[in-house]
Chains A and B, each alone.
Chain A
Amino acid sequence: MTVAATTAPLVRRRVPAAVRRRRFLLAVANHSVLIGFAIAFLAPFVFILLTALMTNNQALSPDLWPHPFRWRNFVDVWTKAPLWRWMLNTLEYSVLGTLGLVVSSVPVAYALARLHWRGRQAMFMVVLVALMLPPQVTVVPLYVMWAKFHPFGFNFIGTLWPVILPNWFGDAFSIFLLRQFFLTIPEEYLDAARVDGCGELRILGTVVVRLAKPAIVAVALFSFLYTFNDFFLPLLYTGEAPHHWVLSIGLSQFRSLHQVQWNLTMAATLLVMVPVVVIFFLAQRAFVEGVTLTGVKG
């Protein structure tokens, strides 16, 4: 869609040579700037990779090129730190969190967008407010709540549940995004289903979900990314419980905790980046569509 829109004017006019040359030079300049920036954007990845392949001593020197290449670093990282444990904890948070978020946000968004009930506008304002507030505003009482709540002697602090469970009750950003998308679904489709005798829940489960698939996938992807990368909340609740650390916490304490140098730290850094990048390439289209959606619908 991109190329067609930019290059094919409706009417071709004869272009003077001087103008053509100018356009060509402009295009070259345009591309050079882009390529320059692209190199700058890739450089950090390259430097991280090169350092990850250095020896201890070399990582403490200004050398740029590994000599010799120490591929073993990528093996050593796994024995130096419980990366597997962190990875599994991260997945527990991301997957259970995302699942709950989607399941709970879709009906709320539908109710806000399509059902007529008293207080709908007010509720939507509340969602907007929740969307804009930094989480730090409510974090102290929430911590107190989890710290004082011990059903059957189970202590939530020191586990990931205080960060997972709230996702099962909807998330303001996702509700907002989904609502905006649901608004664009033509009423006729829903009416047709209603005429066929479907209840609102059936309609939601079949017609709406099918039509809104791109938005739902986008919401799920964002949630997965957010939870995978989240640092603040897991730090709060599991900071003193290393068995429940997620990757981001483990990584932040990796260097000093395991008394390693930059080479192993950079190797671990790369390993943490890999899962997200893999998911991106598997679902690249859904990603870009989703991001675009936020902007257009927002």
Chain B
Amino acid sequence: MSPWLVGFSLFFGYPLVMSAYLSFNHYDLLSAPRWVGLANYRYLFTVDPQVWTAVKNTLWLIAVMVPLQVVFAYGIAMLLARAKSGVGLLRTIFYLPALAPPVAATLGFVFILNPATGPVNTILGHLGIQGPLWFQDPAWSKPSLTLLGLWGVGNTMVIFLAAVLDVPRHLYESAELDGAGPLQRLRWVTLPTTSPVILFAVILGVIQGLQYFTQAYVAAGVASGQASQAGDVTAGTLGYPLDSTLVYPVLLFQHGFTDFQMGYASAMAILLLAVSFAVISIILINSRKWVHYGGAAR
């Protein structure tokens, strides 16, 4: 226990306190921190033109992408649960993309959705449809990331499938005897019985949404095609196109680790901390209305 406590204080407790402390300082890692009071927070809330864009982008992902992922995974799980043959193979196919490393998956999607040379728009073109600009269009870049998210939904799907198959058979039968149709059975039997698992998936999704970084960072860098000769994703391409993929962690990364304004980045971290707690608390409080723990001990 005690080595863990040491590590825990070192890698979690201490940084948490330091974050709060640094957020009141100007610190560039080269000279000692200098106390500046609330200056970082004032800049954060009143000047920085990108903070609200970043907050909105992150909230968009949590409000649109996460629910879609949950609904989609649940739908596939329902279909799989009713399927009579080939379940093993289909389950593997749906699970496989979840394993693809996010960087690789993102690269693949940026290419596949390339408006000029990518296969998706080529096929749409043959069908007489003018495809969108996907990762190149600020209106489509987040939906493109959502598609990528739906593709990698395998984990949630497997969890849901197990939960749906676990619903006691007799519940369906008694519902059927009461004359419930398929939709009513879903509404009154399947959903309530699996609601704890749904809550789990929602919370996990929100947590991942709050720290969503890799896909946005890579997609912006690759889609912009504007790499320096030295080949990096440079600060100038973060959020491409037009800041539409500039999620909060990406902006924090930029201020903290390309501008090295450690004090300011800490202030951003504290805001993220507050928002994370708020969002998760809201979901947990709200969940009391719809989650049923059928007496099972947790």
> Which residues of A line the B interface, CB within 8 A?
1-3, 5-7, 9-10, 27, 30-31, 33-35, 37-38, 41-42, 44-45, 47-48, 50-51, 59-62, 64, 104, 107-108, 111, 117, 126, 130-145, 147, 166, 168-170, 225, 228-229, 231-232, 236, 239, 247-249, 251-253, 255-258, 262, 265-266, 269-270, 272-273, 276-277, 280, 284, 287-288, 291-292, 294-296, 298
Q: Are A37 and B211 in contact (CB under 8 A)?
A: no
**Judging by beta carbons under 8 Å apart, are B99 and A136 in contact?**
no
CB atoms of A169 and B197 under 8 A apart? no
CB contacts (< 8 Å) of B197 on chain A: these are 295-296, 298
B253-275 Cβ-contact flags toward A at 8 Å (1 or 0): 10011000010011001101100
Given contacts A256-B227, A262-B117, whether A6 and B84 have CB atoms under 8 Å apart is yes
Within 8 Å CB of A7, what residues of B?
A: 84
CB nearest to B116 among chain A residues? A62
0/1 string, B197-213, CB within 8 A of A gives 1? 10011011001001101
Asked if B140 is at the interface of the complex by the 8 Å CB criterion, the answer is no
Given the known interface contacts A139-B269, A288-B158, the answer about A6 and B165 at a Cβ–Cβ threshold of 8 Å is: yes
Residue in A closest to B206 when the chains form the complex, CB atoms: A132
Q: When the two chains form their complex, are residues B79 and A277 in contact, meaning their CB atoms are under 8 A apart?
A: no
Given contacts A34-B90, A169-B3, A236-B253, 5 further A-B contacts (CB under 8 A): A1-B165, A10-B169, A30-B82, A38-B93, A147-B29
Closest 5 CB pairs of A and B: A169-B7, A295-B159, A257-B231, A256-B227, A141-B18
Question: Which residue on chain A has the smallest CB distance to residue B263?
Answer: A140
A137 and B269 form a contact (CB under 8 A): yes
Cα-based distance from A221 to B244 in the complex (angstroms) = 34
Cβ of B184 to closest chain A Cβ, rounded Å: 16
8 A–B contacts from the bound complex (CB under 8 Å):
A134-B272, A138-B11, A140-B269, A239-B257, A257-B230, A262-B111, A266-B107, A296-B166
Q: Contacts A6-B165, A296-B163 given: A134-B111 contact, CB under 8 Å? A: no
Bound-state CA distance A140–B264 (Å) is 10
Q: Which residue of chain B has the shortest Cβ distance to A270 in the bound complex?
A: B104
Q: In the complex the two chains form, what is the Cα distance from A236 to B165 in whole Å?
A: 42
Q: A169-B3, A269-B104 are in contact. Are A132 and B276 (CB under 8 A)?
A: yes
Q: Decide: B101 and A228 in contact? CB cutoff 8 A.
A: yes
Given the contacts A59-B117, A107-B1, A252 and B221 also touching, CB distance less than 8 Å = yes
